[in-house]
Amino acid sequence: MAASTIKVMIVDDSAVVRQTLKEVLESDQQIEVVSVASDPIFAQKHLETMRPDVIITDVEMPRMDGLTFLRHIMETSPLPVVVCSSKAEEGSDNAIRALEYGAVEIIQKPKLGTKQFLEESKVRICDSVKAAFLATRKLSTLTKRPPSDREVAPKLTADVMLPKPSLAERSIVETTEKIVVVGASTGGTEALKEFLEAFPEDAPGIVIVQHMPEHFTEAFAKRLDSLCRITVKEAADNDTVIRGRALIAPGNKHTLLKRSGARYYVEVKDGPLVCRHRPSVDVLFRSAARYAGKNAIGVIMTGMGDDGSRGMKEMHDAGAQTIAQDEASCVVFGMPNEAIKLGGVDSVLPLDSIAADVLRRSR
């Protein structure tokens, strides 16, 4: 392996999962698995003599659970941690808690399936490790090498084409109701929490794409719903976008904003990966450009890669108001930076100022 590879430690009580993850990760030339451990106790012993760039850990394990292990790491010697969890309801809830404790990403445990499923899982797992590695600069106690040119996000590989609007859709009833669309990835779970907690009960309707695996978005939405004054739920096909509610795109499904007369609603659908993601921010933003136009407010937050940059430019060109999170408050400044470079951003703001700006623009 080259000296510039991302060094990874895998912690999981399943030998099959450890071996599968190792094979998936080492299929990428930028990643090297330097240690595997069957539980956090063994992992801590390994950490006494070596320091990986990224740790992948399960949540449910014998002797010490992954949450306790994560808190210990963050309190003693912070490292970027990716949570690898099953889709079980309890596991999903614990994975969301792990993000609050400092984990930077969630991935779903790899499993056997179709060739397409395995290839998509490989993309998600390897990209999550690279995103976690890029997040090391936000851990103040670390001094890590900067990412090389090879570690930037890959470009668009597929697209979900929006159908041409019908005559009825082009002759839309005039409305001034504002709709907010938001895209986020690495670091976005905590950023969205701060963002949504700032809204009053009568906030404009919000649709969100947060890169997260299938089954975990429901737990994430429920967690936010318990903390916010607005209602937060996982989006279902044909849900109406209404004031006082935020809809979060379900994992493994694209979510589009659509319009019928003065009613905005979401369409939840299958489709290929777009910008290496499903759901994709670009898919949501492009639909907002087409069906909401100047009535839309777009927000792009922390995350690796360029998902959302093209869609935000389309929104900007359609008359929407667009906001990017600033570099200082991002865990990874990839997605906002790409949108800024394309010329699709009106304002660049720190995270703690975005909600107030959205409210000002919506009024």
Query: CA nearest 354: which of 207, 131, 180, 236?
Result: 180
- Active-site hit among 12, 35, 211, 326: 211
| Six token digits for residue 321 | 């108001």
- Active-site hit among 39, 53, 307, 326: 307
Place of tokens 């589009």: 256
Active-site residue, 307 included: yes
Sequence length of the chain is 363
- Active-site hit among 85, 185, 309, 329: 185
Active-site residue, 85 included: no
Active-site residue, 346 included: no
Bridge-based pairing of strands 179-184 and 105-108 is unpaired
The set of catalytic residues is: 185, 211, 307
